[in-house]
Amino acid sequence: MIETPYLLFLGDAPDQLAAKVAQGIKDWRPEFAVGQLRLDGCKADMGLPDMTLAEARAAGVKTLVIGVANRGGVISLKWKKLLVEALENGFDLASGLHNLLRDEEDLAAVARVTGRTLHDVRIPSVKYPIANGEKRRGKRVLAVGTDCSVGKMYTALCMEKEMHARGMKATFRATGQTGILITGDGVPLDAVIADFMAGSIEYLTPDNDEDHWDLIEGQGSLFHASYSGVTMALIHGGQPDALILSHEPTRSHMRGLPGYALPSLDALRDLALTVARVVNPACEVVGVAVNTQHMSDAEARGYLAEVEARLGLPATDPFRYGAAKLVDALADL
């Protein structure tokens, strides 16, 4: 568990998109985002107060989060001086980069001397159990996609926000590096050893109040040749009571697989439900979350209406039009 609140390190981000981890934290856990720290040439801006390490310390910050990704996931030499200073000033560091903080000899040495923690959320820090398939108390919802990167994480975060606004008990459960940095906890599922994947999700979503919802962050797609095993384990470990279908209608092929067309929402519904009912026979598909970022407002509304009519399910773009329809469907279940 990463200690909060955070100072968001934007480094020398070449543009706003490179700082999407910081953006996620600022959007979804604004109470964790006390300030930002930018180096010369940084082109990203979260609209947060720019702080020195000393100012952040005075404001109660516990952890400097690397909120920027750079080419190859490398920890830049330009960053090193600042990261070392942060450790010396009493901050922990948290990173989701492919190259690990702990593998940088200078950072590891300073962390050891200062007694600070290096959180590399790219890889697991827990020895997960093998899944036992036993039914747990409480309710769980999972977004499954026609493809990778169609907005499953944002769907779960939008739903969490709406559920909290309604006073419902709900917890976003992160299964990827960005989600873990946003919430400070979770399972980096893509880095878990095969035998323990489903068990890691059981561990992440334990027994809870009967009226509590875990909003499990989706990963991959049952139809994606590279990552479908991860999705399968997520469904079987998560034991969802409800599934949301996630889709990005303008994509011409599966992400990273030029030869593969996207499946239809019907095909996704049928396969995901068959698979989910192995572990939870009561599971239902309750709605559709469409990522309409590449459509005009008129196109998006038209597409959503068409999907609702065709599938007989509420459909929305939760980021653009709110998650109320999806939360209504959960509440009705």
Q: What angle do CA 112, 191, 259 make, to 5 degrees?
A: 145
Among 279, 295, 313, 327, contact with a copy of itself (rule: CB under 8 A): 279
Selected from 102, 260, 311, 322, the binder of a copy of itself by CB under 8 A is: 260
Residue 142 one-letter amino acid: L
Q: Which two tokens stand for residue 68?
A: 């920027």
Residue 263 in the binding site for a copy of itself (CB under 8 A): yes
What is the footprint of a copy of itself within residues 205-234 (CB under 8 A)?
A: 222-223, 225-234
The one among 2, 25, 101, 131 contacting a copy of itself by CB under 8 A: 131
| Residue 285 sits in the site that holds a copy of itself (CB under 8 A) | no
Q: In the complex, what is the shortest distance from the CB of residue 194 to a copy of itself, in angstroms, rounded to a whole number?
A: 5
Query: Cα torsion for 136, 130, 190, 274, to the nearest 10°?
Result: -60
- Residues 167 to 196 in contact with a copy of itself, rule: CB under 8 A: 189-195
Choice from 271, 273, 311, 324 touching a copy of itself (CB under 8 A): 271
Least gap, CB of 223 to a copy of itself (angstroms) = 5
Task: Report the residue number, 88 or 195, with the smaller CB distance to a copy of itself.
Answer: 195
| Rounded (10°) angle between helices 152-165 and 324-332 | 70
Q: Which of 59, 130, 305, 331 binds a copy of itself (CB under 8 A)?
A: 130
Closest CA relative to residue 205, chosen from 190, 215, 193: 215
Q: In sequence order, what are the beta bridge partners of 288?
A: 245, 315
Establish if 197 lies at the interface with a copy of itself (CB under 8 A): yes
Residue with tokens 């300030």: 35
Helix (H, G, I), strand (E, B) or coil at 179: helix
240 binds a copy of itself (CB under 8 A): no
Could you give phi then psi for residue 170, rounded to 5 degrees?
-155, 140
- SS3 letters across 17-49: HHHHHHHHHHHHCHHHEEEEEECCCCCCCCCCC
Stretch that binds a copy of itself, among 85-93, 259-267, 284-292, 314-322 (CB under 8 A): 259-267
Q: Tell me which residues touch a copy of itself (CB under 8 A).
A: 130-135, 189-195, 197-199, 222-223, 225-234, 236-237, 254, 256-257, 259-260, 263, 271, 274-275, 278-279
